[in-house]
Amino acid sequence: MLKQSSRSSLFIICFILFMALSCAGSALAWYPRIGSQALVAPDVGGVVGSNRPYIIGNSENLMEIARRGLLGFSALMNANPGQDEWLPVVGSEVILPYAAVIPRTFKPGITINLAEYRLYLVEQQDEFYRVRIYPIGLGRDGWQSPEGTYEIAEMIEDPIWTRPENMRDPELPSIIEAGPDNPLGRYWLGLSLPGYGIHGTNRPFGIGRRVSHGCIRLYGSDIEDLAKRVRRGTPVTIIYQPVKVSTAGGQLTVEVHPDYLQRVADLEQEVKNQLKQNDWQGLVDALLLKQTIREARGIPVFFDRAEAGTEKTDEPPES
């Protein structure tokens, strides 16, 4: 539960734009610090951002690399299978997964895809959409983050956290004032679903993991950036979509994340369903598709035009 702080300040936030990145179709992407921002044509989608290589140094671990790079921990681990999270191989190269498929179904407002631990802010700009991407932390088992369509109902700077009754502990304080120990961080964006919201955190290593009591957590710099770009009434759509497909510019791209809720019975069929929705008439490299689904690395995989003899998208690949 929350109480409005009487303190209010005006912050001028400067983000260094230092990564010029190429995108599919008519999009141009870059990163304010690390969070992805791009322009994409409406009802086209595409791929924004670009993955980056990184060489593991002495005494580094993937948890700290994710935090420094403003990445979600699960995204970094999935993109680099075989690396030990605490003892990665010094001198080895890992992928920092900043690229993402933007489905054409995303509309202005906030879309949260629980399956990929990401929040998308989509803003209309002339005939284009401006897209910004933020990694998030989610609800743990038994405290699942809700799905559905909501809106931002309240915005509080420097919130005060009141421990809910079902979380009371006589050895812990029931109320935490604004400050570095507040689990809500600097900003609370309350949803129209009472008790749930988007907020910062005093535990940044929880970003990209399922550790909350249902709310959506962001890094401190990300929630500060998001809070200045939204307002009360901004629509919020929360989905669970482990498979994303883009055919923008005639380029087939597939992004598959682990289906941790085990909801999708047939991931290959889900890819084909999305291809039909995109009116894709080309062929698909069936072996690459199987590999992409099996690995579920959460990074966009680009498909070349399949040669004659490869299976068509409307025919199920043989096992």
Q: Any idea which residues carry the catalytic annotation?
A: 199, 215
- The answer to whether 185 and 212 have CB atoms below 8 angstroms apart is no
**How is the chain split among helix, strand and coil, in percent rounded to 5?**
15, 30, 50
> Quick one: which of 80, 72, 76 has its CA closest to 117?
72
- Cα separation, 110 vs 131, whole angstroms: 10
Rounded distance, CA 37 to CA 48, Å? Answer: 8
Helix, strand or coil, per DSSP, at residue 119: strand
CA distance 296 to 293: 5
| Residues 6 or more apart whose Cβ sits within 8 Å of residue 12 | none
Nearby residues of 170 by Cβ (< 8 Å), 6 or more positions away: none
* 76, containing H or E segment: helix 73-79
State the first-to-last Cα distance of the chain, in angstroms, to the nearest integer. Answer: 52
- Tell me which H or E stretch contains 68: helix 62-68
Do the beta carbons of residue 306 and residue 259 sit within 8 Å? no
- Nearest one of 196, 262, 227, 53 to 219, comparing CA atoms: 227
What is the spatial distance between Cα 220 and Cα 184, in angstroms, rounded to a whole number? 10
Cross-strand bridge partners of residue 102: 46
